[in-house]
Structure 1
């Protein structure tokens, strides 16, 4: 059988770095192929080469698509359609196109790439202020060349199990719902192949399962070939027929998804042994804290309901709970981003307690300048170097020698070696792996010398090995810098590994504060399923 895609000796370089090194692979029509590998192994680069939209300055080898194309209307279908009649009246003929070859016609490349759907990690690319149905209708219009079909858009929302959200504004959806809207928009192309780059990496296990179900159903209903990257072994086992393991740009093994997932897990290192924390006096205190919202559909929403809590200086404190439990709202109030409806919040600066409910530079402002937050959907300045991202871009004006010294020290604190830190200073974020970008973003927060750092889902998109790096980074930052960390997470494994204490939230209330193991013992079955997965 002729393969759908042949990859021969594919090499991609970015300066001195070889992102892919002599990759050889065949992808069969209708196959679901999984890619595993640590952050920076080349997974995302390979998907972008397969997509065929971007150009790479230093690329060699071959990526040959074997398709069927109608010479009359240029419609492209998978290779098995060769010899069949096209809807225009012509017939499909075998056609080969090499996406790496400089001689390929741009129109030929576009004919194929427009039949390829892609879901990128952390990139929703939706019209945020438009309703869900309008987002999908626009995709239908683009795919059909101007024809708008409400019924077609509604059918696509049915396909991804999101009909109950079609009238919602896109920016108000959860991460998992946004991902399914992205999939519905991509399905408007009637694609022959789906490229999915960590499509559920930022999601809790329960929400991720909904996205996986939608992907699986779409692949079957549209008879698509799929290539998917993920660091979750169950994704490989559930969604793929075959998997391969990338390491430093090379394929080191391929075979059954379960075997490759086990091999990848065995590559992980160990988390540094957590030293006994030298925890001080309370640094954050809240009493009878509440936050209410008014919704036309749902009435009064008690996002946080009568919470009292103390967090101690120098500790790593976890806020855990299922989606909608109130942990993100509580963390934003503790960080001074939003004000409470009732109750009080105080932060200790030196020996003085600052009332966070009183606005102004002499009140809340005194505390917030010593607080840092790394959001789940963090952003770096893409066309500024790493050292610029760590200094000028965030308003930190220092002489170059001092800026370089401070940047290197902070990068070492978040897990880079001194040699690695020196190398990445001159690079732009798009030249880094996802894990490296996350560590730079964390350094961007720490370089401002905060006393309190809030991390919102810090391990969302990470593979197992990078998660260990981040765990070690947090522990090392606490030891080296004396920071207090508040971690909002649904990843109980991560919380158990790094947190001294944790609070379990349920329906806006704190139901227990204690050790992570104690919190785990008090979880309901639903909470375990969402925060621990299968």
Structure 2
């Protein structure tokens, strides 16, 4: 039964078409996958289906075929037409032009749509896990609500954190609570925009299994965008391939994914790079803190780590392993509880635990960091974010040339890079903002670069371009990289060495292929072994 009809939709932002004459039909109970490069229009289409402000189509229509109760104004899926509503009235079949209907009907439909967004954890940070889920449950008494909440948290495999405060959770755990919250709303449509882009493979697999059990297998209608080919094949009934705002292919997930991946180039493989001597030394570094709910938390627990000059070193591990805390300690954003941290500057070793201009202040100008929760200056355009906003004072024409060069390095073609220089962050897609944030780090050419999930929102083609740019930067500028990543293919392609973290400790170090085999799901282990 036809549920959602997208008819000749076009959406323009500041003269640029981000969706161009898009048409498709989504049947009730099916899962539509949206595949495409960063900036292709995936998130715009999902936000439009959700009814988010500023995403009204400039041309075309979004039609929802629904069952509507005229008495209590409840909205249900079209198959419920003719059935009795809980108020006693009968549901009536209705076709609604979503963006041109009255406000009451618009709000009624919007309430029945749940959404999971990339890098956004919509939780009450000071509430417990179960309270976060309970606040999303309506029309049930207290006992029923608690039972439903527990079932949903069990589905999301979060019952072990049921009384923990949300702010104490790792990113992967937060995303699983978000899933439980959105399912608690009993939606008729579930939207997921890159829900596992920044998660480690095992946590991502938990989310995918929960989406399979809680949404797809229960016959709910879902629309999901992802750059993980496995997600498209595993969860989708049909796939559309968006390219520069247009649907260029649609149909069978396996066939569409295969054609999409055929255009992904292999990373450039140069000669084995000869690294220098040690440039970073961390000895017995610990970061312990106290949580009322969890007691003593050992975020980093006795780390010993050495990174050589010009080495690309990866740190992998499940969500909550302590990887981000480790990177923040190295940069000086988080004070270690104990331990010794040394960074070599020229021929001098600097104590990074010592504050002030004679301690880590001497090294800071030579360090760059891309945070997992990166942010750009919202009131500066892209050129401003890459120059004045980070105190990079350059002549106007040279600043523009350098900005275009570094934007090309992170996956933009030259024509588009020139176009976006005058755009502001809110005019870019999430993946484009991520790449600009990476460019913001690279443009200052720091000696040591710390990247926390640098490819989390990137499509496979952009990921290869970023891989090549990191290797090129290392080869040409003698830069050293410490990379925190859940992207196993990226770690294999770019890193010289890797370390596996678990429970705040480094369990082993060595060849990235060997390290990753201890982390990835069974199927990928077999694939890596065969490779």
Match of 2:120 in 1: 123
Alpha-carbon distance in 2 for matches of 1:220, 1:447: 44
Match of 2:181 among 182, 185, 190: 185
Secondary structure of 1:88's counterpart equals: coil
1:256 lines up with 2:252 in the alignment:
yes
1:74-117: CA deviation from partner (whole Å, max 9, x where unpaired)? 111111111222222221111111134xx422222112111111
TM-score (norm 2): 0.90
C-alpha distance in structure 2 between counterparts of 1:84 and 1:57, whole Å: 32
SS in 1 for 2:499: strand
Change beyond 3 A, Cα 1:276–1:94: same
Deviation (angstroms), 1:350: 2.3
**Paired residues of 1:190 and 1:222 also in contact (CA < 8 A):** no
2:55 aligned with 1:64: no
Aligned to 1:197: 193
Specify the alignment match of 2:369 in structure 1.
Answer: 373
- Work out the number of aligned pairs and report it: 524
Q: What TM-score, normalized by structure 1, do the two folds share?
A: 0.89
Could you tell me which runs of 5 or more consecutive residues in structure 1 were left unpaired when the two chains were aligned.
none
Q: Are 2:130 and 1:133 equivalent residues in the alignment? A: yes
Residue equivalent to 2:4: 5
> In structure 2, what is the equivalent of residue 31 of structure 1?
30
Q: Compared with structure 1, are the counterparts of its residues 176 and 306 closer, same or farther at alpha carbon in structure 2 (3 Å cutoff)?
A: closer
Q: Give secondary structure in 1 for the equivalent of 2:469.
A: helix
Alignment match, 2:49:
50
Measure the CA separation in 2 of the matches of 1:13 and 1:432. 12
Cα contact 2:453–2:485 (8 A) shared by 1: yes
Deviation at 1:298? 6.4
CA shift, 1:204, in A, is: 1.1
Moved more, 197-206 or 252-261: 252-261
Unaligned runs of 5+ residues in structure 2 are none
**C-alpha deviation, 1:343, in angstroms:** 3.2
- CA deviations over 1:288-332 (Å, ceiling 9, x no partner): 444445566766655445444332222211223344544433333
Asked if the contact 1:154/1:163 (under 8 Å) is kept, the reply is no
Per-residue CA deviations over 1:156-195 (Å, capped at 9, x if unaligned) read 3422423332321111112232122222322343211101
Structure 1 residues 226, 188: CA separation in 2 closer, same or farther (over 3 Å shift)? Answer: same
Q: Does 1:114 align with 2:111?
A: yes
Pairing partner for 1:391 from 387, 392, 412: 387
Pairwise mapping of residues 157-236 of structure 1 onto structure 2 (< 5 A)?
A: 157-161=150-154, 162-219=158-215, 223-236=219-232
Separation (CA, whole Å) in 1 of partners of 2:304 and 2:280:
11
Q: Could you report, residue by residue, the CA deviation over 1:103-159 in whole angstroms, capped at 9, with x for unpaired residues?
A: 42222211211111111111112121222233223333xx56xx9847415513422
Q: What SS class does the counterpart of residue 151 from structure 2 fall into?
A: helix
Distance 1:98 1:482, change over 3 A: farther
Q: In 2, Cα distance between the equivalents of 1:259 and 1:327? A: 37
CA distance in 2, matches of 1:85, 1:515: 62
Corresponding residue of 2:148 = 155
Separation in 2, partners of 1:291, 1:278: 33
Pairwise CA distance, 1:207: 0.7
Distance in structure 2 (CA, Å) of the matches to 1:532 and 1:453: 29
Q: Counterpart of 1:427?
A: 423
Q: Does 1:443 align with 2:439?
A: yes
1:205/1:533 contact within 8 Å kept: no
On the 8 A contact 2:165/2:293 being kept in 1, the answer is no
- Quick one: structure 1 residues 281 and 259, their matched pair in 2 at CA, closer, same or farther if it must change by over 3 Å? same
The equivalent position to 1:237 in structure 2, one of 233, 236, 250, is 233
Q: Which residue of 2 aligns with 1:14?
A: 13
Partner of 1:460: 456
The structure-2 alpha-carbon separation of the partners of 1:112 and 1:309, relative to structure 1 and needing over 3 Å to count, comes to: closer
8 Å CA contact 2:410–2:462 kept in 1: the answer is no
Q: Secondary structure at the match of 1:450?
A: coil
The answer as to whether partners of 1:289 and 1:340 remain within 8 angstroms in 2 is: yes
1:348 aligned onto 2:344: yes
Tell me whether 337-346 or 67-76 shows the greater mean CA deviation.
337-346
Say which SS state the counterpart of residue 136 (structure 2) adopts.
helix
CA–CA distance in 2 between the matches of 1:438 and 1:469? 14
